Structure 1
Amino acid sequence: MKPALELKNITTLVNPGTSEEKQILKNLSLTLEAGDFVTLLGTNGAGKSTLLNVINGSLKPTMGKVILGDKDLTNLSEVKRATYISQVFQDPKVGTAPRMTVAENLLLALKRGQKRRLRLRNLRSHLAEFEELTAQLPNNLSERLHTFTGNLSGGQRQTLSFLMATITKPDILLLDEHTAALDPNTSSQLLKLTNDVVTKENLTCLMITHRLQDALRYGNRVIILNEGQVVLDTRDKEHLTEEKILTYFAN
């Protein structure tokens, strides 16, 4: 069976050919198996967000290939990759349409990757489904289906973003510190929801976090980046401690 995702010899350059040229990712290779829930750690500037941008297509690598199953995505645009890849960003304002209601945003996400045509949206026929989807979520989203997303709290909006990213099962789910902007209680609720959905749906997920405790608590695999390279890739979380993780940041 082919891996879910392969990154082959990825190198990214910023300001190439100038005196300010800088290499972010350095000949990085990485393979994700189907169902992997990876927590990704690294100091600021280690290349974590750059890695996600290479996967989602918002940044084309200077060298290397991005392979999803048997598809070469390297030259596909971010829009075309959205058929296969979903992402939740750190900023709760990103990923939802503020002037659309919660239900309208969910309907939009339900049609991700499909061809858009001029036709009736049939929102009413999906309301019962959306009520059921949101009924067990935190933040009382089920009571806000007809509320404009711009009027939601940060926690409600980020929970909606996560639901939109997973409402149709993506091949790859990318989470870029998606709880970092939330208060501790809301962050904890969303992380629990994340773990429940990723585990239940057997999603292949790459989650950036800055909290060592969360990296140890969630997922089946820890990867640490340092200066654009993988310095630790382990599934042996039982013997991994915060103190040991910090040694990789120092090297």
Structure 2
Amino acid sequence: MTLELKNITTVVNQGTPEEKTILKQINLKLQDGDFVTLLGTNGAGKSTLLNVINGSLKPSSGQILLDGTDITNLSEVKRAKDIAQVFQDPKLGTAPRMTVAENLLLATKRGLRRSLKMRGLEKHLAEFKEKTAQLPNGLSKHLQTFVGNLSGGQRQTLSFLMATIRRPKLLLLDEHTAALDPKTSQNLLALTNDVVSREKITCIMITHQLSDALKYGNRTIILNSGKIVLDAYGEEKKQLTEEKILEFFTN
């Protein structure tokens, strides 16, 4: 899988006094299996970048290529077959009035045509129990629990499993541990690292924690004022320190 962004510029509130350019001529190419930790100050354009990639926001100019195919004008729904995302808010990405098992069944059909009937749930229960048994937060005991009754940590762990139960070409993580307590956050990060590394999933993970950016992934990118000011991988990433990263946060 390759993802290529060519000269991506995103302008919001065009033609109004609030007009603002969020992303400025972004050029980026991800290779298969790249695990990117993405850093930047508030307003730097991190979430906007993910929204442009997932199709929920169309760039003002530029081109997006996935495996060489131009997906710039492809809808968010059509991109969902190849691109999965976990959001910062545990309430996003799951259906609260459906059970854990029902949510997982929906996730197995991501990007496929679906009917309103939950067909084939029973034959998947053993598989779902096995997969959730490997996760923190005791999700395997809650397959028949409505998702709205889960804790934030359980719900976010479920969201991650739903995003990866069918291996996506690209996984986007928008500060997916930020709303969790420190212990639950570290458990989910460890799970993330294990799954992404084992399955060799191409992944972009937004984080505000410098230590996590250094610890995880093979590549670290820093956005500042809508531009990529650092793209470090391999030995360059290994040589990074928190002090060196902070130097890129000044305007």
Show the 5 A alignment for 1:28-43: 28-43=26-41
Aligned mates of 2:115, 2:177 — CA distance in 1: 35
* Partner of residue 249, structure 1: 249
Of 143, 153, 156, the residue aligned with 2:141 is 143
- What's the CA shift for 1:172? 0.5
Partner Cα distance (1:168, 1:150) in 2: 23
CA distance in 2, matches of 1:118, 1:7: 36
Q: Deviations over 1:184-232 (max 9, x none)?
A: 0000000000000000000000000000000000000000000000000
Partners of 1:203 and 1:120 lie apart in 2 by 28
Q: What letter is aligned with 2:76? A: E
- 1:118: Cα distance to partner? 5.9
Moved segments of 4+, more than 6 Å: none
Q: Which residue of 2 is the match for residue 206 of structure 1?
A: 204
Residue among 231, 235, 238 paired with 2:229: 231
Report the equivalent of 1:69: 67
The change in CA–CA distance for 1:206 and 1:196 in structure 2 (over 3 A counts) is same
Which TM-score applies when normalising by structure 1?
0.97
For 1:139-178, what aligned pairs fall within 5 Å after superposition? 139-178=137-176
1:1-251 to structure 2, matched below 5 A, reads 4-117=2-115, 121-235=119-233, 236-251=236-251
Amino acid at match of 1:241: T
SS of equivalent to 1:121: coil
Amino acid at match of 2:114: R
**2:96·2:148 contact (CA, 8 Å) conserved in 1?**
yes
Please report how far the alpha carbon of residue 113 of structure 1 lies from its aligned counterpart in structure 2 after TM superposition: 1.0
Q: Which amino acid aligns with 2:250?
A: A
Displacement of 1:17 in angstroms is 1.7
Please give the alpha-carbon distance, in whole angstroms, between the structure 2 residues aligned to 1:58 and 1:108: 20
Secondary structure of the 1:161 match is: helix
Percentage of identical aligned residues: 72
Q: Which amino acid aligns with 2:248?
A: Y
C-alpha distance in 1, partners of 2:71/2:240?
33
RMSD between aligned alpha carbons?
1.0
In the TM superposition, residue 120 of structure 1 has moved relative to its aligned partner by: 5.7
What is the CA deviation profile of residues 144-187 of structure 1, one whole-angstrom value per residue up to 9, with x for unaligned ones? Answer: 00000000000000000000000001010000000000000000
Mind listing any 5+ residue stretches in structure 1 that lack a counterpart? none
Q: 1: distance between equivalents of 2:26 and 2:38? A: 14
How much does 1:18 deviate? 2.0
